[in-house]
A and B are shown apart, each in its own frame.
Chain A
Amino acid sequence: MPTDRDTIVHDALTALPAPRAPRSLLPRVMAAVAQPRRPWYERAWMTWPVGWQAASLMAVAGAAWTLVASWPALAAAGDVASAAAVSSAAPAVRLMDAAVAALSTVAVLHRALAPALAVAAALVLTMSATCALAGAALARMALGGASRS
């Protein structure tokens, strides 16, 4: 049973004027409506026409059933294919052997020449540093410190 106090609140609420829609609502709605709608197949599956939803479900179910039903045949075909791949891979195996042999040769040469390479590298670095210092000294003598300004 509503009390008097409830009635007072109810009367006050129902006497309230309805809030007015903002002026921006109508342009927003009309702009959204004016945008070209994407075709059904570009939208979420849930919004597809019911017929297409049913058709797509049947297609997926059919594909799954086909996969399951033909699995033994697919497995046998896979075995045949892998056997053929092994036999046709002989040239690749030979190429791999050659690459491994070449890498081994490079490794042996590196071990033999490593000390000489280190000396050569040190010599090149020392010569480069000497040239740089000499160049700087010559520039200072020739320009008389003018570059410092």
Chain B
Amino acid sequence: MTQAADLGRSMRRMDAQQTLFAPLPSRLELLGMAVDAAEGPPRRVNVWRNHAAETLLTLARPYLDWAGLALDPWLSGYDDSLSFAEHAPAALELLWLDAARLPADAGWLEGRIAALREMSRSPILVLATAPVAASGPDVHVADLGAVCSAAGVPLLDARLAKVTGSPLSAAAQSLIARELACRWLPALLCPPLKAVAVDLDHTLYAGVLGEDGVQGVRLEPGHELLQQRLKALRERGIFLALVSRNERADVQALFDARTDFPLRWDDFSVTEVSWGDKADALQRVALALNIDVSAIAFLDDNPGELAQVGLRLPTLRGVLAHADAALTTRVLEHLPALWRWRVSAEDARRVVDQQANAQRAELSAADPEAYFKSLGVRLRFSLNDAGQLARMAEMSGKTNQFNLALARLSETDYAARLADPAGAVVTVELADRFSDSGVVGLLAARVGDDAIHVDELLISCRAMGRRLEDSIVIGALQCLPARPVQFRVAEGPRNQPARNWLGQPATWPPERVQSFTPPDGVLTERNIP
């Protein structure tokens, strides 16, 4: 694609925000919009339904295109029995249910979901017109009623069922289409966003710091809301970065003086305040946070600047900040792959942990050996802990650098492994005097008569560079029977750190595991049933 075409595409995406993220999106405007189609091969989604889904999918289309999510929905016939006839592999199984048509037996749907799980290991998403009981690994139930009541629109419209084949109101369909395309599906199908970088002037407040001064810039209600939402993201483990063309001293003075701002200077994990190029600054943000630029969203009020950044960093997610900051807030809240189905304890710890890493690096520069001993590192190894299933799948999905086999096992895969007598999953929790990092290591293996076959080996980037790799991996292997160890290795674009750690060969004799002792200063604990 030419540069002009890329710029045009980027501008159309920004233009679309106003219509897409209106408080109540107009159906007519949604249908009339032209958003460039999402690129890439479409992924199949199986839609198992007992009422009409066509109008919902039509409304979801502009949102999916805006989200960059190319999907190929396959619709079953209307089937109240949920027989899952003609099942074919898909990236996701979507149950689109008129709850009033389902059997009254509360366990019936659970049974049908268990049957679907026998056919498919993909995530299962349940959207029903009333609360239903549905559970299991990688089964997610959205609350349609809550979406509508938050917006003050009725979920159902009794006039419609006979004519349309669905009891959902017109307004509900638009809102549900937006939630589906911008939150529920990307959270299951896309790599997660890990950081939000924000501009300052006309983004976090109205006005220009360099012209209006510290007290002259205005925190309007929409900006206050936006700042509160950003702060809440930080508490859920999303890094915040400040990327602004300003004098650094002025910006620090602003955050010192404006105690009415919900955001504080220390809330930003990285601050890039200079007169330099913003694409360069965003690359430095990625480097400082040890994440890929594709995991960053950048909020700026200047469409030209965003388009230029987009040309240099095409995988970064540019978002236009509007003069109406309440609109910007709605866009932020619907950024694909920012919203999560669950927030784990590890998510909440991430931002604090990263800041502790900076402290560790500073202190270790003086006397590395003495410093390491003084850290008080504690490693806790747990074997087959079903309570950590969600974290296991999260690590498989998110870990890119120390990921030896790139197996990307799902929650369902891990559940099956825990149920298998030959399956073993060791999770490793890390704490030291600076922070409690939670689960940062994972080893999934099959214990054969001849060898331990390691199918997945992961260390979170937060635990890397702390000279703990051997202690984590070998400590995990010591929880399993003494056998030769065979590592599965896959070559990916970013997993060189794991491959370098292993080196050659990929098979170890049992003595290598049994003779290992962790370095001085590392305490270990085992939780083996």
A and B: bona fide binding partners: no
**Interface positions of B (Cβ within 8 A of A):** none
